[in-house]
A and B are shown apart, each in its own frame.
Chain A
Amino acid sequence: MKWVRAFLLLLVTAAVFWILNNPHGIIPPMGKLFNPFAGFWQNSNKSDKIVEEIVLPELQDIVHVVWDVRRVPHIFAKNDHDLYFAQGYITAKDRLWQMEFQTHSVAGRLSEIVGKRALEYDRFQRRIGMVYAAENSVRALNENQESKAVITAYTSGVNAYIKSLSKKELPLEYKILDYFPETWTVIKSALLLKYMAWDLTGSSSDYIMTQTREALGDSVMEQLFPYYPPFMNPVVPTGVSWDFKSNMDQKQREEYINIHRVNTNSKESQYGKGSNNWAVSGNLTKSGYPILCNDPHLGLNLPSIWYEIQLISPDVNAYGVSLPGAPAVIIGFNSEIAWGLTNAGSDVLDWYKIKFKDSTRKEYFYDGEWHETKLRVEEIKVRGEKTVLDTVCYTRHGPVVYHEGEEPFYNNIPAGSAMRWAAHDPSNELQTFHMLNRAKSYEDYLEALRFYDCPGQNLVFADKSGDIAIWHNGKFPLRWKGQGRYLLDGSNLDDEWKDWVPREHNPHVKNPDRGFVSSANQIPADSDYPYYLGWDYVSFERGTRINELLSAMKDITPEDMIEMQSDVMNLRARMLFPRLLDILRAKSLTPEEKQSYEELKNWNCKNRAELIAPTIFEYFWQELCERIWNDDMNTDSGSLKRPNSEVTIDLILNQPECPYFDDKTTADKETLDDLAYQAFQSANKKLTEEFGSIGQAWVWGKTRGTDIRHVAQIPGLGRINLETNGNSYIINAISKYFGPSWRMVVTLGPEVRAWGICPGGQSGNPGSRFYDNAVDDWIKGKAYELLYLKSPDEENPDIAGKTKLRGVK
Chain B
Amino acid sequence: MIGLIICFLLMLLLHIFTPFWWWIMIVPFVYSLLKAKSGWEGFRIGMFSAGLLWLIMSVYAYLTGSKTIAARISQMFQLEIPWLTIIVTVLVAAIAAGISGMAGYSIKTLLRR
Contact = CB atoms under 8 A, between A and B. Distances in A.
Interface string B80-101: 0000010011001101100110
Contacts of B62: 41
B107 interface: yes
A505 to B, nearest CB: 51
A587 B62 CA distance: 62
Interface string A6-49: 10011011001100110000000011111111111111111000
Interface residues of B, number: 44
Contacts of A35: 15, 19, 21, 54
A129 B74 CA distance: 39
Given A16-B100, A17-B96, A44-B64, A715 B75 contact: yes
A172 B22 CA distance: 19
Contacts of A769: 68
A766 interface: yes
Interface hub of B39, B58, B102 (most chain A Cβ within 10 A): B58
Interface string A174-186: 0010000000000
Given A6-B107, A10-B106, A20-B96, A40 B68 contact: no
B72 interface: yes
A36 B19 contact: no
A39 B107 CA distance: 30
B2 interface: no
A40 B110 contact: no
B96 A716 contact: no
A22 to B, nearest CB: 12
Nearest to B75: A716
B5 interface: no
B73 A31 contact: no
B57 interface: yes
Given A16-B99, A20-B21, A21-B22, A36 B110 contact: no
B95 to A, nearest CB: 7
B103 interface: yes
A769 B110 CA distance: 54
B68 A32 contact: no
A768 interface: yes
A17 B69 contact: no
Interface hub of B20, B60, B95 (most chain A Cβ within 10 A): B20
A13 B19 contact: no
B107 A716 contact: no
A42 B22 contact: no
A39 B58 CA distance: 10
Given A31-B92, A41-B61, A44-B66, A167 B19 contact: yes
Contact of A13 (B54, B65, B99): B99
A724 B84 CA distance: 31
A16 B96 contact: yes
A37 B66 contact: no
Nearest to A765: B69
A36 B61 contact: yes
B25 interface: yes
Interface string A35-78: 11111111111100000000000000000000000000000000
B1 interface: no
B75 A40 contact: no
A767 B103 CA distance: 37
A9 B65 contact: no
A6 B69 contact: no
A473 to B, nearest CB: 41
A714 interface: yes
Interface hub of B16, B76, B89, B99 (most chain A Cβ within 10 A): B76
B97 to A, nearest CB: 10
Contact of B110 (A3, A717, A771): A3
Given A5-B106, A16-B99, A17-B96, A40 B65 contact: no
A34 B76 CA distance: 13
B8 interface: no
A38 B25 contact: no
Contacts of A219: none
Nearest to A21: B22
A10 B103 contact: yes
Nearest to B105: A9
B110 A6 contact: yes
A253 interface: no
A129 B20 CA distance: 39
B109 A716 contact: no
Contacts of B48: none
A168 interface: yes
Nearest to B11: A37
B29 interface: yes
B106 A172 contact: no
Nearest to A5: B106
Interface string A480-496: 00000000000000000
A766 B68 contact: yes
B69 A172 contact: yes
Given A36-B89, A715-B76, A41 B106 contact: no
Contact of B25 (A3, A17, A33, A766): A17
Interface of A: 2-3, 5-6, 9-10, 12-13, 16-17, 20-21, 30-46, 166-168, 172, 176, 714-717, 765-769, 771
27 contacts: A2-B109, A2-B110, A5-B109, A9-B39, A9-B102, A10-B106, A12-B103, A16-B99, A16-B100, A32-B21, A34-B21, A34-B89, A34-B92, A41-B58, A41-B70, A41-B89, A42-B66, A43-B66, A45-B65, A45-B66, A172-B69, A714-B76, A716-B76, A717-B72, A766-B72, A767-B68, A767-B69
What 5 pairs between A and B have smallest CB-CB spacing? Answer: A767-B69, A716-B75, A716-B76, A167-B19, A35-B21
Given A43-B66, A716-B74, 14 more contacts: A5-B109, A6-B107, A13-B25, A16-B100, A20-B21, A34-B93, A36-B89, A37-B57, A38-B15, A43-B69, A44-B64, A45-B66, A45-B69, A766-B68
